[in-house]
Amino acid sequence: MTAPTPSVRIRVPATSANLGPAFDSAGLAVTIHDVVDFAVRESGLTVEVSGEGAGCLPADESHLVVRAFRAACEDLGWRPPGLAVLAHNGIPQGRGLGSSAAAVVAGALGAWALCPEVEAIDGDAVLRLVTGMEGHPDNVAACLVGGATLSWETGDGPVADDLDISPEVRPIVLVPSATLSTEKARGLLPDLVPHADAAFNAGRAALLVHALTSEPALLLAATEDRLHQQQRRAAMPATLDLVDRLRAAGHAAVVSGAGPSVLVLSRRFPDDPPGSPDDAADVREVTALTPEGWEVLPVDVDRGGARVLAAANEVSSR
């Protein structure tokens, strides 16, 4: 009998960055997931993708999961003779929900989990690697840690910490059919901003932490932004129109990451179980304000972050 080859399964959550005013520093993990199986083979590379991005994403060394896997292997001084990757993607691609962050986190964790010289995964090393690939730590930090996170850069590299987010916070994700590249969205931002706008966002970012952890009733005020959302209106007018409409109706709506999806931070009251009538009413109100062609996804906060699961025997043997 042939001995089974080493394999592992990685599950990574979708993330929404910025959360309004906390540009490039805050992120939230939600219960939409990619699941990626890795298996060491005798030679070659196979990549199979199902779900979001199937038929569009590359199936060779240029696949972002594979690139992150190889980069982590380089850091570890290890290279498997062959590799099989099977990705089932639930995270919408190019919608501002951290699909690229999920890909690099999955690839890096896959390498660390499979490397025979590693006894435990070094979360700080993984964060450094994936931040370098993404360019900023907000999405990757939330993907790795789970929940709501704050992340920042130091002379020694990126650092992230999670917030004790209130159980009342209930996210709703609104996903359009259109996509938008992060590079294009970031290209619309000015190099300089007025001092008053910077001060405004600093205050709202501090208030955001208080609202997320202790006072969800303040989320509408805490998610106001002057630095990046309206500046991107030309690239995604339907998104900003929806944000404006939702906020006018009292919903704490923000552009999710670089867009074009929208994140609504609604409330679940302590005595209301998931799926309660009040919960459903909030979703109905948001749905009624959302244009046709958008998908309304009531989700929960993913408090666990990226997970290394049991060995994956289902990885394709081709």
Q: Are residues 173 and 243 in the same domain?
A: yes
Q: What is the pLDDT of residue 271?
A: 58
242 with 118, same domain: the answer is no
Residue 315 lies in a domain: no
Residues 125 and 202 in one domain: no
pLDDT over 70 (residue 275): no
Are residues 158 and 86 both part of a single domain? yes
pLDDT at position 237: 95
Q: Mind listing the pLDDT tens digit for each residue in 10-20?
A: 999 999 999 99
Q: Is there a single domain that holds both residue 212 and residue 290?
A: yes
pLDDT at 23 over 50: yes
Residue 313 in this model has a pLDDT that exceeds 70: no
Render pLDDT for 150-191 as a digit per residue (tens, 0 to 9): 999 999 999 999 999 999 999 999 999 988 777 777 778 888
Could you tell me the pLDDT band of residue 2, with boundaries at 50, 70 and 90? very low
For residue 208, give every residue at least 6 positions away whose Cβ sits within 8 Å of its Cβ, in sequence order, or none.
19, 20, 21, 22, 26, 222, 223
Number of domains forming the structure of the chain = 2
- Find out whether 105 and 130 touch, Cβ atoms under 8 Å: yes
pLDDT at 183: 73
Same domain, 239 and 271: yes
Alpha-carbon distance of 166 to 169, in angstroms, equals 6
Average pLDDT, stretch 280-289?
91
Classify residue 287: in a domain, yes or no: yes
Domain assignment present for 317: no
Summarize pLDDT for 106-117 with one digit per residue, the tens: 999 999 999 999
Question: Is residue 318 included in any domain, yes or no?
Answer: no
Task: List 267's β-bridge partners, or say none.
Answer: 169
- Predicted pLDDT at 315: 38
| 128 and 38 in a common domain | yes
Q: Tell me, what CATH number does 198's domain have?
A: 3.30.70.890
pLDDT band at 89 (very low <50, low <70, confident <90, very high): very high
Domain range for 282 = 169-298
The pLDDT tens digits for 186-224 are 778 888 899 999 999 999 999 999 999 999 999 999 999
Quote the pLDDT of residue 277: 57
Tokens of 45: 């590379």
Q: What is the pLDDT of residue 303?
A: 96
